[in-house]
Structure 1
Amino acid sequence: MRKLLLLAGVAMCWALPATAQSGLEGRVGKLEGEMRAVQRKVFPGGAGAIPSVEPQITGAPAPGRDIGSPATTPITDLTQRVSSLEQQVASMTGQIEQSQYRLRQLEEQFAAYRKEMDARLAGTAPISDTGGPAEGSGGPATSTPASRPETPARKPEAAAPAPGKDPARAKLVAAVEKPASGQADEDDYIYGYRLWQAKLYPEAAAQLKKVVAEYPKSRRASFAQNLLGRSYLDDGKPSLASIAFYDNYKKMPDGERAPESLYYLGQSLMKLNKPADACKVYGELADVYGAKIGAQMQADITRARTAAKCK
């Protein structure tokens, strides 16, 4: 009877480590699965290309043993593996969370900058100038350097005479030839351009507004909106010109004359004695259209930034 009890006790002693080992094996399997999932997120590349990650904190090297001494028990080995995996998962999870937090901060800062720029540009008023790119039927645009600010004082914009009421002016308008190529958007734009060339600015503005309204999908819409701003500038209406330039950039950013509109907006800010805002506009122009800006405009932007003392 005593022998049977002794054998039963020995069996129970052997069964306890086996049960503990089985529980640890489950923990190890779960942690190793989590570790592989984290590695896939940090090192994307598919299931066979996941690099191994060495533990950042490892246990102290095992002390030397004399020959014939017993080896480390399976439970001790599993415990060390669990501790190592837990440390790796915690470290990599913390790094991912930090990266995501920095990314959110950058996105919020960029959104705030965009909102500020929209608010600033919406309230600016361009200036009139006598030079700049020709708005003809096609070729690449050229631009004139930005002039230095004169005085911050602004004169009220005079109301333009109603087109067609002055017989002498009506005669000048009638002298402007209307194109008849058969392509409506092209003909209407060229007619507005010719009115602008003849310095008939109110009539040109009315014609160019018509082009933008009736042919919003035409490539000439960007040309017409930009030339509308130029017409207002040359007619001494900087506030209206500001709206026209800003709308061209915001509503048709891919249009062929969007860079020129942004450039003239920067010039207007210099005229209004707002060099800091002008520098932001020139920076926006370089960031958005850097690859599309020709050598002449690049030179003009450089001179304008120097005049504004941009950093």
Structure 2
Amino acid sequence: MRHVLFATSAMAWSAPLLLALAPPVSAQTVEGRVDRLEKEMRAVQRKVFPAGTPIEAQITRPTTPTIAPGSPSSSPISDLTARVGALESQLSSITGQVEENSFKLKQLEEAFNRYKADTDARLAPAEAPVAVRPAVSAPVAADPTPVAAKPAAPKPAAAAPASEERKTAVAAIERPDTGDAAQDAYTYGFRLWDAKFYPEAQGQLKATVDKYGTASVASRAANLLGRAYLDDGKPALASVAFYENYQKRPRGDRAADSLAYLGEALIQLKKPADACKVYAELEQVYGESLSSSLRGMMAQGRTRAKCS
């Protein structure tokens, strides 16, 4: 009898000890799910921000439900499991949106590449006529130099020699000298554009973008270069400048402006369908941060292009 009581007591005292030593399965499961969530979130951030610092997500903690008196409270592990499940659902939704945005951007790039190829074909110099070789057995002279390949972008026509009066007026435009070479180069290009010396402004702004392409002022200079082409009646060159500025500097000061003016350039080139795609991209990427002037410009452009 004593042995039975002793064995019963030993089992009673050892049961809590065994429970305490048992691994917290729920905690380990939740920890594994959290690790997987962190890896997936980092993958999404690398997809959305391939060349910049990720923006901290603004995630609000779900409101704790009110527990009626007398009802059993949920354990911390259960609460954590529910929150992890909600995070998994949000991450799945974000991943779907990223994939959709990537697909739409790819469509926009393909449409622009088609338009660019059409423009190249129209603006490429005519090929020189091939000379007819005489039908003789004597050695024939070597073939003439082949025609150069089509340029990647339409080349601006050579500007006519400026008159002395124009040279004097351009020379009167003051060159700034503040010690900030990049800003001074852009400011001088702006002054030339503001004075409607568009060819001179184009040369100055293009040189600024080429030399200071990684500076903060590059976005403004590239956008103004496109506007100088557009104001000079060169929408094909303007569209290339606007698109490259948006593609290379999507977070630049004038990225949204370049996308809006790209739509205008495409309308002038009689590409309303492509212009509508550009306006859709502008709304989706910069919708909440668009200024009233750009929003009005987009609305007018959609009306002119007859976007649905």
| Alignment TM class, shorter chain as reference | 0.5 to 0.7
Equivalent residue for 1:112? 103
TM-score norm. by structure 1 comes to: 0.54
Q: Aligned partners of 2:299, 2:290: CA distance in 1, in Å?
A: 12
Q: Which has the larger radius of gyration?
A: 1
Q: Would you say 1:278 and 2:275 are equivalent positions? A: yes
Equivalent residue for 2:194? 197
1:119 deviation in Å? 2.0
Change (3 A) 1:196 1:160: farther
| Identical columns (%) | 44
Give runs of aligned pairs for residues 29-48 of structure 1, distance below 5 A.
37=29, 41=33, 48=76
> 1:266-290 CA distances to partner (integer Å, 9 max, x unpaired)?
1122223332222221111111112
Q: Which runs of 5+ in 1 are unaligned?
A: 1-32, 54-95, 126-155
Equivalent residue for 1:269? 266
> 1:234-282 CA distances to partner (integer Å, 9 max, x unpaired)?
2222221111000110111111111111001111222233322222211
> 1:141-200 CA distances to partner (integer Å, 9 max, x unpaired)?
xxxxxxxxxxxxxxx987232666x43332232122212223222221111111112222
8 Å CA contact 1:124–1:242 kept in 2: the answer is no
SS in structure 1 opposite 2:157?
coil
Specify which structure has the bigger relative contact order, considering alpha-carbon pairs within 8 angstroms and separated by 6 or more residues.
1
8 Å CA contact 2:156–2:237 kept in 1: the answer is no
Q: Would you say 1:218 and 2:246 are equivalent positions? A: no
Q: Aligned partners of 2:176, 2:300: CA distance in 1, in Å?
A: 38
Q: Aligned partners of 2:94, 2:187: CA distance in 1, in Å?
A: 48
- Tell me the amino acid that sits aligned with residue 189 of structure 1: Y
Equivalent residue for 1:159? 157
Q: Aligned partners of 1:112, 1:119: CA distance in 2, in Å?
A: 11
Equivalent residue for 1:260? 257
Equivalent residue for 2:234? 237
8 Å CA contact 2:266–2:274 kept in 1: the answer is yes
1:123 deviation in Å? 4.9
Q: Would you say 1:173 and 2:164 are equivalent positions? A: no
Q: Aligned partners of 1:284, 1:40: CA distance in 2, in Å?
A: 38
TM-score norm. by structure 2 comes to: 0.55
Change (3 A) 1:163 1:244: farther
Q: Out of 47, 63, 77, which is 1:49 matched to?
A: 77
8 Å CA contact 1:163–1:170 kept in 2: the answer is no
SS in structure 1 opposite 2:257?
helix
- Tell me the amino acid that sits aligned with residue 263 of structure 1: A
> 1:117-146 CA distances to partner (integer Å, 9 max, x unpaired)?
112234547xxxxxxxxxxxxxxxxxxxxx
